[in-house]
Amino acid sequence: MRRPVLAVIALLLLAGCGGAPAASPSPTSTTASSTSLAPPSSLPAPASAGTSIAGTQATAPTKVVVLDPGHNGGNASHPGEINAQVPAGRGRMKPCNTTGTATNAGYPEHAFTWDVAVRVRDLLAAKGVQVVMTRQDDTGVGPCVDKRAAIGNDSGAAAVVSIHADGSTNPTAHGFHVAYSSPPLNDAQGQPSMNLATTLRDAMVSGGFPTSTYIGSAGLSPRDDLGGLNLSERPAVLVECGNMRNATEAAAFSSPDGRASYAAAIAAGILAYLG
């Protein structure tokens, strides 16, 4: 157990290893013996993170992405918790969470969003991205939209992506759209979120998915009523992958291959945004 911990510390402190690891002086250390704690003379003075030392390229800081799979499997059986009012930004209150929609055959949105998010998580992790999920399974309750936003904020995420599917009762309505907070309430909701939205939109189009025929314009939808976006202090978007009541899209949502295709496009968009 000791060795992996030390290895992790060594990696984290690689750029600053001249000083930081010596932070625990021995009981006999005094100012008089401080020279023994100095960095080895072969190393330059402690460098700032991100620079290279002695020809060794320091590891770039790991980027954090928060994935927010919409709804949750236990929401429907916990109406009291789910309907409790929570802050949703712009001075409004909204229900903690909702149950989400489903295909006509009964495949639920929460299962779709969970499955796609796990696939996106794995694709991002394979590229070295640190992923934080707003929920850990598809059987729990919530969390509330304000808590989901707080998870993104507290993580210092480079990007926050909520994953949903819509439930329009018009069976011909179809296509995806990417929602973003508008008008923005802070800097992160401005250009960074717009860039995330357009980059994700472009990746979805490249993945072969049509833009929405019934919401927004060219696959983008400015919104002022989505609590998770309103409360975000990080670049954040919400992708509605399509209409679960449309037969073609319902078939794609209900198939593992279809979900893998959505996940691949979403992951590609996030990676393109991270650069």
Query: Which residues form the interface with Zn ion (CB under 5 A)?
Result: 70, 100, 164
72 versus 271: smaller Cβ distance to Zn ion = 72
Instruction: Write the single-letter amino acid at 44.
Output: P
Which residues share a beta bridge with 114?
Answer: none
145 versus 268: smaller Cβ distance to Zn ion = 145
**Strand intervals (E) in the chain:** 64-69, 85-87, 93-95, 130-133, 159-166, 177-181, 220-223, 236-243
240 is catalytic: yes
70 versus 184: smaller Cβ distance to Zn ion = 70
Q: Which residue is nearest to Zn ion (CB)?
A: 164
Residue with tokens 């992996």: 4
Q: Which member of 81, 109, 233, 240 is catalytic? A: 240
100 versus 108: smaller Cβ distance to Zn ion = 100
Q: What is the closest distance, in whole angstroms, from the C-beta atom of residue 87 to Zn ion in the complex?
A: 19
CB 231 within 8 A of CB 128: no
Q: What is the closest distance, in whole angstroms, from the C-beta atom of residue 79 to Zn ion in the complex?
A: 17
Q: What is the closest distance, in whole angstroms, from the C-beta atom of residue 98 to Zn ion in the complex?
A: 7
Which DSSP string do the residues of 192-257 spell out, in sequence order?
HHHHHHHHHHHHHHHTTPPBPSSSSBTTEEEES--HHHHT-SS-EEEEEEEETTSHHHHHHHTSHH
Q: What is the closest distance, in whole angstroms, from the C-beta atom of residue 56 to Zn ion in the complex?
A: 46
CB 141 within 8 A of CB 72: yes
The residues annotated with a catalytic role in the active site are 240
